[in-house]
Structure 1
Amino acid sequence: MIQLNTKSCDWCHPWGQVTGCATFDDSSVEYSTAPPISEVIPHELSKATSPVYVIEPPDVLTISAISLVPKHPYRVRPLDTLIVQATGMPTEAPIGGEHVIGLDGNLVLGYEYDYLDGQHQPIRATGKTIEMIRNELEERLQLVAREPRVWITLSSIASQQDISGEHLVAPDGRVTLGSYGRVSLIGMTIEEAKTTIETHLSQYFENPQVGVDVFGFNSKVYYVITQGAGLGDQVFRLPIKGSETALDAIGEIQGFSSNSSIRMWVARPGFNNQGGDQIMPIDWLGISQRGDVTTNYQLMPGDRLYVAEDKLVAFDTALAKIISPIERMLGVTLLGTQTANRITTYGTVNNQGF
């Protein structure tokens, strides 16, 4: 007999009578009055809508970078591309078009513009703003042109830290955004996480925009526990997808093992309105053979679907545990006795005639 808490669910006994379930032994359980189960507990044809999803470890988030424009004033880096235009230059040596900042951080224009006092000295661009580079270039060009005018535009920037992709929520509730640091998202909704990430990135970008979604719903789970009939229980940890029922849970574990019975119930964390445990027995024959959805409950995060053992298998296992040591001792004794007898009679001719 399965021993349940004496504060067991108030709904077990009434619904055992209604569904006609004869597979759940509740003779040792005390009950109190509670509202009808169909009005309280969501089941197959009357499911509840899941609340707004809250991010927790170890969820996996997908973050997409929509707009990440460097914060003003932007300082040029190697491999950035600048569009340089200048007027008043000699016809044979015009300045115009795109120029890539070299790995050494220099802006190379060509012709004699990269020489100063007869030495090759391109303009150092790394770490400077566009305005600083423009002023320095105008001063350089005044040596070879009359009243030069320079316009510089940032065409493209070198590859920067890419935050797009999948991000695991660490045990401390934070996600890593590469070189831009870490941000805590635990306990937030998707919308709140989006706002938090954008606020954090605003330290580095102008009006950043990102997209956030949940890639792996790992923090909301339920458990299926199968009693092992004396050979050890098995526990299956399954993610909540939003509308799983008891039948879905049994399907996830590929049905029953040879040690299982069809007696099962859902144990829900917390207490009911009367302070008792929330134990909801399931009529498996009704669900599987008659299509009765009354006890095919919708599972919630943290629920435990417990499948009881087959009592005959459990009795056989217990009996084997008792008999097996004795059987082994007697077997060893018999083997020792036979061996001793063979040694004693070895070489003796047993010929008694007719």
Structure 2
Amino acid sequence: MTKLLRHYKMIVFLTALIAVPGPAHAKEQAMTPEELERQQQLINQQVLQTYAEAGAQPVDPGIINMEVPSDSRYTLGVNDVIEVTVLRHPEVSGQYIINQEGKIQYEFAGDVHVAGQTKDEVTDTLQEKLTEFIISPEVTVKIIGYNSKVVYVIGEVGQPGKIFMRGDTITVREALLQAGLPLLTAKVEKSKLFTPSANGVPEQKKVNVKSLLYKGDLRENLVMKPGDTLFIPPTAMTKVMRTIQPVAAPITTGAGVGRTVTTGGF
């Protein structure tokens, strides 16, 4: 009887803890550079606040106060969006989506292949084509939609899902900052990085996110490439609570007072 009572108390205790919010779904929409920069500043503030509340400080504050990477070396791909501005010539200025063939449909020049080029290289390409119609054209190219390169952060983070890259690579730290950082339910020291391979079996690498974020161990700041997935697993207690959660069912007593009971055998 005593053993049964102890078991019952443990179930009640765990049931009281099961109100753990599930991770929110990420918005799978690319952001403009300005929006990404504003979000990065907000994330930086949230990260510092999180460290302060946890009573822990990173070894190097610069780890948190990072800058949004430059897009000057970003190679364009399918579905990226660029804005072309030709000084004093609005008729050949506008926004263009790179199609599945890696081209944009540009006025006067027809289909222009731009995939695999940087924005500076596209500027030179368009400038050369426009010299047939315009004397000394002044062309500016700006990337306004990053849609071709993505990595994934899943598991116990604030906003799991796609991360749209502003470069050809992204580090684990940068991806985590954009994904909302690990939750309290995360077993961060057991994280894994999965990379697609030709044989269909993804390569796995262990990542100690705890050492990276809280101790500044840059050896754990692995480089992610398009298609990579970073998995932040739950703690054992989180797994237990989520297993118990469906078992606990709210019922109404005869007097109309709601209470929670645990079904199933002990």
> TM-score, length-normalised on structure 1?
0.42
- Pair 290,260 (structure 1): closer, same or farther in 2 beyond 3 Å: closer
Tell whether the 8 Å contact from 2:169 to 2:224 is kept in structure 1 after alignment: yes
Distance in 1, matches of 2:202 and 2:227, equals 14
Bigger Rg over Cα: 1
Q: Is 1:189 the equivalent of 2:210?
A: no
2:235 is matched with 310
What SS is found at the alignment partner of 1:294?
helix
Deviation, 1:171, is: 5.0
Matches within 5 A, 1:1-354: 53-65=74-86, 162-170=91-99, 173-178=102-107, 180=108, 182-190=110-118, 193-194=122-123, 197=126, 201=130, 205=133, 209=137, 211=139, 213-216=141-144, 217-227=146-156, 234-241=160-167, 244-262=170-188, 263-270=190-197, 277-324=202-249, 328=250, 331-332=251-252, 334-335=253-254
Distance in 1, matches of 2:213 and 2:101, equals 43
Are the aligned partners of 2:86 and 2:140 in contact in 1 as well (CA < 8 Å)? no
Deviation at 1:240, TM superposition (A): 3.3
The answer to whether the Cα contact below 8 Å between 1:222 and 1:240 also exists between their aligned partners in 2 is no
Which deviations, in whole Å up to 9, do the C-alpha atoms of 1:76-122 show, x marking residues without a partner? xxxxxxxxxxxxxxxxxxxxxxxxxxxxxxxxxxxxxxxxxxxxxxx
**Partners in 2 of 1:188 and 1:210 — Cα distance?**
22
Report the AA paired with residue 235 of structure 2: D
Amino acid at match of 1:318: T
Using the size of structure 2 for normalisation, the TM-score is 0.53
Q: How far is 1:208 from its partner? A: 6.9
CA-atom RMSD, angstroms?
3.8
CA distance in 1, matches of 2:213, 2:219: 12
1:76 aligned partner:
none
Structure 1 unaligned blocks of 5 or more: 1-49, 67-158, 340-354
Q: Secondary structure at the match of 2:194?
A: strand
Aligned position for 1:116: none
Query: How far does the alpha carbon of each residue in 1:225-259 deviate from its partner, in whole angstroms, 9 at most, with x for none?
Result: 1258xxxx931423234663212222222322243
Q: Between the two proteins, what is the percent identity of the paired residues?
A: 16
**CA gap 1:276/1:218 in 2 versus in 1, 3 angstroms:** closer
- Measured at CA, do residues 65 and 170 of structure 1 come closer, stay the same or move farther in structure 2, by a change above 3 Å? same
| Secondary structure, aligned partner of 2:243 | helix
In 1, Cα distance between equivalents of 2:198 and 2:215: 31
Q: Greater helix percent: which structure? A: 2
Q: By how many angstroms is 1:277 displaced?
A: 2.8
